[in-house]
Amino acid sequence: MARKKKEKTVKTSGPVKTQENHKVKPYDLGIISRNAKTVIVNAMIETTGQVRFGDGTEVNLTITEKDLIPTSDGKFVEKVVFAGSKRRGVDRRTIHALRNQVLSQNGTEPFEQCYIPQLCRKCPTCWLLGATAMGEGYNIKSRILYGSSYSIEPSELAVQPHSRNMVDEKRHTTAGEAGIHTEEFIKAGVHFPTITILERVVDWEIGVFAHALLENVNQNKYTAASRSQGGVKFTEVDAIGQCIIIDESPIGMFPLPTPKIGADKTNLYEALEVYKDSLDLEKIKEKFEVQCFKVDYGKTDGVEDKTTLLIQVNSSILYKIKCTENEGKLEVFQCVRKEKKDEAEDITKSEEGKPILEHEYKLIQTRYYGERALGYIREKQYEWKSFLETFNSQRWTDTNNEILKRIGPSKAEKASEKGLEKPATKEEPVSGEESD
């Protein structure tokens, strides 16, 4: 008769987690996160060689997009346009490329069926960069907003036509006039002040844009003909370094407005002064005083501190601005006044019987600039790559469902529940993303 084997018992330090009592936390996503922030990226981009932002072809001429800009003296100046939609298209392709490459390496099936113009409306990049349904389903608004940029230099200085002729390498002949094609290119040394706004984003989502910006500048992708022409770089400025200014706010509030260059500006020196002034505490002090605020320098141990500004109205402090030059940043704190309490938690009162108020400062804006701003976006690029390397498909599916639930009982949720979402087809494109 066979002997019955003893069953082994395993001691556990706590309850065993089962599929029923263990739920994976959804990914942190700006659209549903309490930690979402708003970021404004301001960068002066400079061409380093012959660059073309194509805008179509007229017979045998490829033209560069240009606009007539009215000036303060009642005249007009023609400027070259670096369209936000062009930047967005190039950025999205770069983002998709890294997404699919890393996901395939970590064993996760990449979203290869999500590409311009057939976007899936389910992957991380769609929930950040947006997608449009042509039919039943839901649309996703992009949380990265690309502004179009006008060149500082007028088009008469910035643009040059160039003719190309096709050569037969065996016969060493050309096709004559029939083979000549002329295109307008943008010369080296032309400057474009760009602004991009990231709404309700978390760190890895900031990294999505950071990756695209860094690599498209580095690899000369912001041009329609980079195979044989020049690229772009961040302009370098005295007292700043790389001309990049990044404003970050946890509540989407910016007491220090982002620097903006007027479209009619044609003087590079004057344009760069706008950036410099946005970092100069004396200039910032003057601007707040013009707005009828009382502004004083702070004090440290009774000595005036030239690195701190106190913005006041009716003797009450509203904001404190702190400059830390060696760290390449400005910080803006909102002053929160609250009634001071004693040890017994009773409100402390003055001799007149009025509550004594104490100040508490809450950080509401950080401005990074120069090399520190460049370091900021490199840090966020790493966050995006780390997100992809640890990506879990099931966890993302749960996150996607959580997003749809929070949207509410709309056509998006109904479409998800009833399986009404149809895959994109060539006849029914999902997105109107423009090509580069």
- Residue 206 is assigned to a structural domain of this protein: yes
Question: Which residues form the domain of 254?
Answer: 37-83+148-279+367-391
**Do 202 and 33 meet the contact criterion of CB atoms below 8 Å apart?**
yes
- Residue 14 is assigned to a structural domain of this protein: no
Helix (H) or strand (E) holding 103: helix 84-105
- Residue 214 is assigned to a structural domain of this protein: yes
pTM to 2 decimal places: 0.82
Give the lowest-confidence range in 7-16, 37-46, 115-124, 253-262: 7-16
- Residue 236 is assigned to a structural domain of this protein: yes
User: Which of 12-26, 44-58, 391-405, 420-434 is predicted most confidently?
Assistant: 391-405
Q: Which of 433, 328, 412 is closest to 92 using CA atoms?
A: 433
Domains: count for the chain: 1
How far apart CA 195 and CA 243 sit, in angstroms, is 12
- Residue 41 is assigned to a structural domain of this protein: yes
Going across the sheet that includes 149-154, the strands are 66-70, 76-82, 149-154
How far apart CA 78 and CA 70 sit, in angstroms, is 9
Tell me the pLDDT band of 282, cut-offs 50, 70 and 90: very high
- Residue 104 is assigned to a structural domain of this protein: no
For tokens 């003057």, the residue is: 286
Q: DSSP for 334-374?
A: EEEEEE-B-TTSPBPB-TTSPBPEEEEEEEEEEEEEHHHHH
Give the lowest-confidence range in 153-157, 183-187, 390-394: 183-187
The count of C-alpha atoms lying within 13 angstroms of the C-alpha of 273, restricted to the half-sphere facing its C-beta, is 8
- Residue 204 is assigned to a structural domain of this protein: yes
Backbone φ and ψ for 405, nearest 5 degrees, come out as -65, -40
180-186 vs 61-64, strand pairing mode: parallel
Please report, as a single letter, which amino acid is at residue 106: N
Residue 204 pLDDT exceeds 90? yes
- Residue 175 is assigned to a structural domain of this protein: yes
